[in-house]
């Protein structure tokens, strides 16, 4: 588990070129990636909440995915590309020196009566059995999730 | 004082041992958990992970006590005042017998 540090508050970029996207985001309505099944937006009202939730997750993911093969090729000179790469490396090097060290998080207090809490009745055996069964079902369900690969994942960047 | 921390744990009827752990290490230990740094380390890792659970819309951990249930015994664990308390208790509960 890990966390990438990011801040959306920094709008004081002197070089606005930095945050300009390299790849113009393709219009999701007019140019769907090849081979992807797009969920139609007019879902019948009879669908369960679960289906609606699944649909919204899929739609959100589809909107956030940048398909580099479907985007128009970026018209950038070789030297411009090299300059940009050098600029980013320098910036990264400067920033990595000043990143704060990650401190171990303090444990939140669960109770002010530790002795009472620990002396209380143990979890009933039937509860433990039920939770074990639910966990087994969940494990089985998760292990059946798989990726259905439709097309190549690695493509060439179209930089001349 | 350490005595204040452990007195209450000693009195738990079916306890087989206990640990009191801080971020710096084991503060007190007794019974079957006496000097058991290994168990202390494992329990600390479990507590750190479990303490991060949140139910949707809540800022607090949704539990007061963590129980590690094994065949014959249970580790009951809680956190209070930056210290982790672990008590090993007898697990007398068995599969109910159908007559």
Interface of A with B (CB under 8 A): 104-115, 117-120, 122-126, 128
Judge whether B75 and B22 are in contact, CB under 8 Å.
no
C-alpha to C-alpha distances, A113 to A16, A53, B53, B80, nearest whole angstrom: 55, 41, 21, 8
Q: Where are the beta strands (DSSP E) in A31-142?
A: none
According to DSSP, the residues that pair with B74 across neighbouring strands are B69, B89
**Which tokens go with A118?**
């620990």
The pLDDT of residue A124 is 92
Sign, CA dihedral B61-B64-B68-B69, equals negative
Q: Please give the residue that has the higher pLDDT: either A145 or A27.
A: A145
Q: Whole-prediction pTM value?
A: 0.56
Judge whether A99 and A5 are in contact, CB under 8 Å.
yes
Give the closest residue to B66 by CA, choosing from A19, A110, A82.
A110
Predicted confidence (pLDDT) at residue A11 exceeds the cutoff of 70: no
Q: Is B79 on the interface with A (CB under 8 A)?
A: yes
Report the residue of B78, B88, B91 to disrupt the A interface, i.e. the one with the largest count of A CBs within 10 Å: B78
The pLDDT of residue A35 is 45
Give the closest residue to B9 by CA, choosing from A113, A123, A121, A119.
A119
Tens of pLDDT, residues B49-58: 999 999 999 9
Give the closest residue to A3 by CA, choosing from A108, A98, A92, A100.
A100
Tens of pLDDT, residues A54-69: 999 999 998 888 777 7
For range A44-59, the mean pLDDT: 81
C-alpha to C-alpha distances, A3 to A6, A102, B34, nearest whole angstrom: 9, 10, 37
Tens of pLDDT, residues A88-147: 999 988 888 776 655 556 788 999 999 999 999 999 999 999 999 999 999 999 999 998
Q: Do B65 and A120 make contact, defined as CB atoms within 8 angstroms? A: yes
The pLDDT of residue A29 is 47
Residue of B nearest to A115 (CA): B8
Show the low-confidence residues of chain B (pLDDT under 50): none
């Amino acid at each position: 588990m890990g966390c990438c540090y990011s801040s959306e508050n920094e709008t004081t970029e002197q070089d606005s070129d930095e945050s300009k996207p390299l790849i113009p985001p393709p219009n999701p309505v007019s140019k769907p990636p090849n081979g992807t099944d797009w969920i139609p937006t007019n879902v019948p009202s009879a669908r369960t909440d679960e289906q609606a939730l699944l649909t919204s997750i899929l739609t959100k993911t589809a909107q956030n995915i940048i398909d580099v093969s479907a985007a128009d090729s970026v018209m950038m000179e070789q030297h411009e590309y090299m300059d940009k790469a050098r600029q980013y490396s320098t910036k990264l090097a400067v920033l990595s020196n000043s990143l704060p060290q990650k401190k171990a998080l303090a444990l939140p207090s669960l109770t002010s009566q530790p002795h009472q809490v620990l002396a209380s009745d143990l979890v009933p055996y039937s509860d433990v059995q039920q939770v074990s069964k639910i966990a087994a079902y969940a494990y089985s369900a998760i292990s059946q999730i798989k990726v259905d690969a439709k097309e190549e994942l690695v493509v060439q960047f179209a930089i001349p | 004082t350490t005595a204040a921390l452990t007195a209450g744990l000693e009195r738990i009827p079916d306890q087989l041992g206990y640990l009191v752990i801080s971020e710096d290490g084991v503060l007190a230990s007794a019974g079957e958990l006496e000097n058991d740094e290994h168990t202390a380390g494992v329990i600390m890792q479990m507590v750190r992970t479990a303490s991060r659970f949140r139910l949707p819309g809540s800022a607090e951990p949704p539990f007061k006590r963590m129980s590690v249930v094994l065949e014959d015994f249970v580790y009951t664990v809680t956190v209070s005042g930056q210290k982790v308390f672990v008590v090993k208790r007898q697990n007398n509960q068995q599969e109910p017998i159908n007559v």
